[in-house]
Structure 1
Amino acid sequence: MNAEITSSQRRALRALSIAYFVQATGALSVAGSLPAISAAWQLTDAQSARLLSIFGLTFALAAPLVQVLFGHLRRRQLVLTGIGLFGLGAFAFALSTGYGGLVASRIVMGAGAGFIGPVLVALGSELVHEQQRGRAIGMVLLGVSIASLAGIPLAAWVASLWGAKVLFALVGLVSLLSGLNILLRVPDKSAGSRIRFSELASVLLEGKYLTAFLVVFFITSGVYSFYSFIAPLIRDTWAGGTHAVSAALAVLGVAGVLGNLWVTRAATRFTSEKLLITGMTLLILDTALIALLPKALSVLLLALVFWAFATDLLWPSQQRRVVELSSARHRGIALALTSAFMFGGIGFGSAVASWIYPVTGFYGLAAMSVAFILMALVSLQLSEKLRKPLVMAELCKNKA
């Protein structure tokens, strides 16, 4: 059997990757366009940052519930439903006249993303032969990397040039076009799988899983308590303007992609635990250096290279670790819950930042970020302690 990815499969995978790009850009563009959002609706930076929190927390609740309530539906149908909701939410954001409308639109976008994110990778992996699944997943996830590299800096530039309302109108339009692209290029052959709520709860409450989920929760809380205020930080602490924010976001994107490429090779030589510890340690040290070094923009951009590199060591390593510790039966649920905890951390971290930054400024934000990463390290150590007895029991069972 020919296991090569065909041209039609490539087109389908690219369509899924584009959808991931649009979702990631639309979800996180609030961070880069914070000043533009505040100006358009006369909000404080803290109020604007909470819109990122609302999206993240909505996604965290929606992702597992979608799997329980609608997981039996065909995967393409789930993705198209999510894209429709996400796009309509973006249009509603652009047309909102007050803060209540902005909040409601971000809830709709978060619910739509809950249909999209956990399903895209599964759908892409089932389009190809088993031998090509790893490559297919990489092609789908490329959309997220490109969003960091180009999408979010581009969104910040559009918002600064034409305003936040134009930005979100474009997000809505491109979302619906990406849905049409999937409808035309992705075959509707992937059936869903029904997940019982009791099974979801049993995974969530099992110690080895829960502590692993807390690792990603605290990592994203630490990262996004800093990242969500990157634009006000550059404006207030480094006296930088719109071009400085776009440059910082571009640096974060390039360094993040390099980190992702490096960890792909390093995964064959190092355990996921070692890579997680390395990434978190580098993140703590780099955040401390950003706080201590002179407040020159060139120094910040250099420090952000290492910050983004460390961050992108963490995401693939965490996903890999969840796959390693989960059984084949629970792997899909565990990965869906990992996504939920990740966006829950994004929402929680950016919410904490919206309370901390107006009171304590940059240094309070940096201290809070480091505290969250330290909690992630503690969760990782606890997770390993709970995991080792189970590994030993499995080895003894196999020997017997």
Structure 2
Amino acid sequence: MWLFALLLTTFALATDDYVIAGVLPAISTGLGVSEAAGGQLVTVFSLVFALAAPVASVVTATWPRRRLLTWALALFVAANWAAACTTSYALLLGLRVLAAVAAASVVPAVYAIAATLAPEGRQGRYLALVMGGLTGSLALGVPLGTWVGGMFGWRATFWLGGLLGLAALAAVRGTVPETPPAPAMPIRERLAPLARPQVLFGLLAIVATVLGSMMMMTYLAPFLRDLAGAGPAELGWIFVLAGLAGFAGGQLGGRAGDRWGPDRALLTGIMGFAVVMAAFTACWYLRPVSLLALLPLLLMWAGVSWWIPPPAQTRLLALAGPAGPQALALNSSAVYLGVSGGAAVGGLILAGHGSGRLPAAAAMVELAALALFWIASAFGKGRRGTGTRVRPTRSPR
């Protein structure tokens, strides 16, 4: 039962971040701001998470884990319910900062608890299950939040986020035993892998892969509205199917990384992403396009977007060599920097050029990520123990 409580926690946090994409037009209309400005709600949450996670892991290192989850989830619930009541865009941004700080405190603790309580030899499997809350949020949480927002208004989506957080809090209090805090590690030691060029460029490549994907994810609602006339009801089931396709893509990407090696798997995923973005760009000049006709492309986009992270992390682990654990600890920050960057850059493109330019820009960013991985590998080949000969191990996003 404690494993389900941790899974529910990551599901609630990821849903709260990603669901903005499904109700973005409604939030923008309700607060009287542009959709590009509304997308910055994702930027703020993800950027604060990325910056706060390493600091929070140091500050809270000596706190009992169960107590930490209790207070952080309570803050998360309060921030969401306050967001549901606000009429100010500036105040809503501030509340997203609070929610992000709470999430940044919870996520490292959740993974630490799962690793501590897992039976001997099953830590990887237990961690993968807890991380399944990410893809589960896309398959279930985001569609549910989008549907609730379409039926009852965007404020109801934040009420739902608070309820999910409250459910996670109750599950944690009822099932998760107290575990001792992890040994404290100075933040300088946590950031030490950044001094190694191959690790730094590998992390930058992960930022770019997520950034390109999130440029489309964050502004999918206005893109599909402009391209196919899709509304909240259609977006709900699109996110369901995209979440399922993303889960399948992540599993296939991980297996491909194991069988082919991370370099070939990355090349396949990123080139597949570029092809789908080219197809979206072509469809833009044929608009309006039937949503049913777009469905195969949407499923391919979701699949290749989640195909990329497993081999990307395997590649990062190989590049880091002995510093692998610290590098992977920085991976969450890299992912959320990519999420915030995708929302920010996508918002600028949306405001300046319209949603039709988003696919081409996203493809260019993914190709830049491929170049960054190549640079990282070039540095890694000159370092003992960090080249491509390191045996790859799968690591979920």
Q: Same fold (TM over 0.5)?
A: yes
Query: Which has the larger displacement, 200-209 or 175-184?
Result: 200-209
Q: How far apart are residue 393 of structure 1 and its match?
A: 8.3
**Partner letter of residue 353 of structure 1?**
G
Deviation by residue 1:6-50 (Cα, 9 ceiling, x = unmatched)? xxxxx1111100111111101111011112212332222112111
Q: Deviations over 1:61-94 (max 9, x none)?
A: 1111112222233333333333222222211211
One-letter code aligned to 2:66: R
Residue 119 and residue 215 in structure 1: after superposition, are their counterparts in 2 closer, same or farther (change >3 A)?
Answer: farther
Partner of residue 82 from structure 2, selected from 92, 99, 105? 92
Q: Which deviations, in whole Å up to 9, do the C-alpha atoms of 1:123-152 show, x marking residues without a partner? A: 212112231112211221222221111111
Deviations 1:100-142 (A, max 9, x none): 1111011011111111223322321211223111221122122
1:252 corresponding residue in structure 2 = 242
The Cα of 1:392 is off from its aligned counterpart by 5.9
CA distance in 1 between counterparts of 2:226 and 2:20 reads: 18
Find 2:231's aligned residue among 241, 244, 269. Answer: 241
Q: Are residue 307 (structure 1) and residue 297 (structure 2) matched?
A: no
Question: For residue 53 of structure 2, what is the aligned residue in structure 1?
Answer: 63
* Contact 2:216/2:359 (<8 A) preserved: yes
Hey, what does 1:297 align to over in structure 2? 291
Shift of 1:371: 1.8
List aligned pairs for 1:143-182, cutoff 5 A: 143-182=133-172
Paired with 2:388 and 2:258, the residues of 1 have a C-alpha distance of: 22
Q: Deviations over 1:213-243 (max 9, x none)?
A: 1111111111111111111111122112222
2:360 matches 1:374: no
Judge conservation of contact 2:193–2:320 (CA < 8 Å) in 1: no
Whether 1:359 and 2:352 are equivalent positions in the alignment is yes
CA contact (8 A) 2:18 2:138 kept: no
Tell me by how many angstroms 1:332 deviates: 3.9
Give the conservation status (yes or no) of the 8 Å contact 1:279–1:314. Answer: yes
**Could you tell me whether the CA contact under 8 Å between 2:262 and 2:311 is conserved in 1?**
yes
Contact 1:32–1:152 (Cα < 8 Å) also in 2: yes
Contact 1:73 1:193 in 2 (8 A): no
What does residue 49 of structure 1 align with? Answer: 39
Q: Deviations over 1:344-380 (max 9, x none)?
A: 1111111111111122113321222112111101110
What is the rounded CA distance, in whole Å, between the counterparts of 1:162 and 1:32 in structure 2?
A: 14
Offset of residue 385 of structure 1: 0.9
Q: Counterpart of 2:315?
A: 321
Contact 1:87 1:175 in 2 (8 A): yes
Q: Give the match for residue 386 of structure 1.
A: 379
Check whether the contact 1:279–1:310 (CA below 8 A) recurs between aligned residues: yes
What percentage of residue pairs aligned between the two structures are identical? 27
Instruction: State whether residues 118 and 339 of structure 1, in contact with CA within 8 Å, keep that contact through their aligned partners in structure 2.
Output: no
Shift of 1:97: 2.1
Check the 8 A contact 1:63/1:336 in 2, yes or no.
Answer: no
- Whole-Å Cα distance in 2 between the matches of residues 92 and 354 of structure 1? 25
CA RMSD of aligned residues (A): 2.0
Give the unaligned 5+ runs of structure 1.
1-10
1:281 aligns with 2:271: yes
Tell me the TM-score normalized by structure 1: 0.91
**What amino acid does structure 1 have at the position aligned with 2:37?**
Q
Q: Following TM superposition, by how much is the alpha carbon of 1:337 offset from its aligned partner in structure 2, in angstroms?
A: 1.4
If the length of structure 2 is used for normalisation, what is the TM-score? 0.91
Letter in 1 for 2:133: G
Amino acid at match of 1:57: L
CA contact (8 A) 1:260 1:316 kept: yes
For the Cα contact (< 8 Å) 2:8–2:133, is it kept in 1? Answer: yes
Distance 1:392 1:50, change over 3 A: closer
- Native 8 Å contact 1:22 1:171 kept in 2: yes
Gaps of 5+ in 2: 390-397
Partner of 2:67: 77
Aligned residue pairs, count: 385
Which residue number corresponds to residue 4 of structure 1?
none
